[in-house]
Structure 1
Amino acid sequence: MKDINDQIEAFFEQYEKRFESGLAGESVGQETTEAFADYFVEASPMGVMGSKNDESFLNAVPKGYDFYKSIGITEMKIKQIDITELDPLHYMVDVRWESVYQKDESEGSIEFSVIYFLQHLKETLKIFAYITGDEQKALKEHGLV
């Protein structure tokens, strides 16, 4: 059996691959929703919001990829993963992402961190919460929105 840290790293490697596939226009909604718990929480500068992992979430997933493509995001790569065990079933994972973009004549990248909270039940990892920074501010600073 794989060590839990290896399982978590593999979980996020798959998440990264799904993001790339979604940016490429492939249908990855079902696989994306399977990475989340039945109910999950987001905390960002917009506040704290909870969502059910239901059909409305499934329908929102492709819209998210479409938004990123529309503003010039071409690639999303994991730069670093830091895992903290909270207890044997719960983990905090700080994922450092690099978002590569090309818009008009400019190209570049934006690095940012998302902190995910995972639950490990029945040999399955699920995201039950995540914390993001001010994505809109970063996108504006780089002229993407």
Structure 2
Amino acid sequence: MEDSIRRFFARYEQFFLRALAGEPDPAEVAGLYAEEFIAASPAGVKAGKNDASLIEAMRQGHAQYRAIGTRDMRVRGLRLSPIDEMHCVAHVAWRATYLRADLPETVIDFEVHYLMQQRQDGPRVFGWISGDETAVLRRHGVL
């Protein structure tokens, strides 16, 4: 399972980089997530469906990342916590780089914990847990 999860996040990283460049692939978004998923952060817990609303939320999110000067988003580390033969938590350490005319290059490291399910056609995200992104961006002067 570990190799397939590593390949998954290499693909995820490439998708994110293309989205930051203004070239998202909505079909690829749908392929990364399970039919339904949960998201948890300090703002609360939400459930969602892998449908047109997910694709639209991703488009808006990536447009916001571009607007605040996100230039790069890279996986800097990956650790797995197996649950059973089909499920694990992927602890993904990300490094984001921001640059705007009014902001010197700013690098922020953070971690997101993805709930993963291994399927016959590859892994899918069925949930994630993240910290307070807005607070971190404010603390670094990005917002």
TMscore range, shorter length: over 0.9
Could you state the TM-score of these two structures normalised by the residue count of structure 2?
0.96
For residue 135 of structure 2, what is the aligned residue in structure 1?
137
Match of 1:82 in 2: 79
Greater displacement, 104-113 / 46-55: 104-113
Q: What is the distance in 1 between the residues matched to 2:128 and 2:24? A: 23
Equivalent pairs: percent with the same residue? 35
- The runs of at least 4 consecutive aligned structure 1 residues that moved more than 3 Å come to none
- Could you tell me how far apart the structure 2 residues matched to 1:139 and 1:21 are? 22
Moved more, 57-66 or 72-81: 57-66
Q: Which runs of 5+ in 1 are unaligned?
A: none
1:115 maps to 113
The answer to which of 100-109 and 43-52 deviates more is 100-109
Q: 1:23 aligns with which of 9, 17, 20?
A: 20
Letter paired with 1:40: F
Residue in 1 that maps onto 2:42: 45
Partner of 1:98: 95
Q: Deviations over 1:91-134 (max 9, x none)?
A: 11000000001122411211000000101122421100100001
- What secondary structure does 1:18 align onto? helix
SS at match of 2:83: strand
- Aligned mates of 2:24, 2:142 — CA distance in 1: 24
Match of 2:53 in 1: 56
Unaligned runs of 5+ in 2: none
CA distance in structure 2 between the aligned counterparts of 1:78 and 1:99, rounded to whole angstroms: 9
Residue correspondence of structure 1 range 4-19 to structure 2 within 5 A: 4-19=1-16
